[in-house]
Amino acid sequence: MIDTVVFPVAGLGTRFLPATKAIPKEMLPVVDKPLIQYGVEEAVAAGATRLVFVTGRTKNAIADHFDMAFELETELEQRGKHELLEVARQTVPDGVECLYVRQRQALGLGHAVRCARSLVSGEAFGLILPDDLIDNGGDGVLAQLVRHHEQTGASVISVEEVPREKTSSYGVVDVESFTGRSGRICGMVEKPEPAEAPSNLAIVGRYVLDARIFELLEETRPDQRGEIQITDAIASLLQERPVDAYRFEGRHYDCGSKLGFLQATVDLGRKHPELGGEFSAWLENQ
């Protein structure tokens, strides 16, 4: 079982300025829930009981979201708004622990993960990048990865096919061959030009990683932009231990980009239990 999931939420979110001047992009809401809440629900559905948030300068918004909101809850209770009170209370279920660690400088995703080291036990752990929103009618993607990890003992990374001309926006994996949804990774490159890309299988932000990754991250040197990349550390991990790619079931939205964020908003808005019908009808008349 994977009990700990790490959420790096300390990026600068420059593509969303000025919205991200005072709040992290992971607090931007898609319809009525912030991105981070979708990620947390996916982690809990995969069996996680310890959530580790690697926060930056806008730490408070995340910590407050998962904390008790005393004044708000008292007010809702006095007004008899019991359903809303539950919504406000259940941002994280009882029995799930939230822990926070600070990344003092945004030195890359690998560096952010390294900051979580002291809060992760020696076991494999989950890693969710909440700006990759994955909509899925059934099993969340992390649960799919955890199941594969339990069956094989391998570290697992979620991947999806992207158009070749877009490989330079992603970490890209080289896979020996696939059996069903999974295949052993034999190489990986961060943001390769299409001509140099080993495949068109791009990494999406869900991982189950062997805790050995923390030692490898200590040895990983920054790239030309001064950032420590998780991809470089995983490239070292797969020299020592099995790492599998997993083609997940679900629709991925890159909510770190404005276009992906809008697409997620429209699609999830159409499906929303309260307003989906009205919103879809309105869209059709535009």
* Chain residues that interact with ligand UTP, rule: CB under 6 A: 8-15, 25, 54, 103, 106-109, 111-112, 129-131, 256
Return d(Cα 264, Cα 110) in angstroms, integer. Answer: 26
Residue (108 or 183) nearer to ligand UTP, CB: 108
> Cβ atoms within 10 A of the Cβ of 100, count?
16
Coil vs helix vs strand at 48: coil
How far from 87 is each of 33, 76, 84, 117, 143, CA to CA, in Å?
10, 11, 5, 32, 24
Residue (76 or 129) nearer to ligand UTP, CB: 129
Closest CB 197 distance from ligand UTP, rounded Å: 18
Residue 43, CB half-sphere, CA atoms under 13 Å: how many? 34
Closest CA to 13 of 102, 104, 99, 106: 106
Closest CB 72 distance from ligand UTP, rounded Å: 26
Closest CB 261 distance from ligand UTP, rounded Å: 11
* Positions of E strands within 1-123: 4-9, 29-30, 33-34, 50-55, 97-102
Closest CB 103 distance from ligand UTP, rounded Å: 5
Angle of helix 70-78 relative to helix 82-89, nearest 10 degrees, comes to: 160
Residue (76 or 230) nearer to ligand UTP, CB: 230
Residue (43 or 154) nearer to ligand UTP, CB: 43
Residue (250 or 256) nearer to ligand UTP, CB: 256
Q: Hey, what's the torsion of the CAs at 167, 172, 176, 181, to 10 degrees? A: -90
Closest CB 224 distance from ligand UTP, rounded Å: 15
Closest CB 283 distance from ligand UTP, rounded Å: 27
CA–CA–CA angle 189, 53, 67 (5° rounding) = 155
Nearest residue (beta carbon) to ligand UTP: 11
CA–CA–CA angle 232, 250, 27 (5° rounding) = 70
Residue (72 or 259) nearer to ligand UTP, CB: 259
Return d(Cα 102, Cα 30) in angstroms, integer. Answer: 25
Residue (260 or 276) nearer to ligand UTP, CB: 260
Closest CB 276 distance from ligand UTP, rounded Å: 28
Residue 75, CB half-sphere, CA atoms under 13 Å: how many? 6
Closest CB 216 distance from ligand UTP, rounded Å: 18
Residue (93 or 226) nearer to ligand UTP, CB: 226
Coil vs helix vs strand at 77: helix
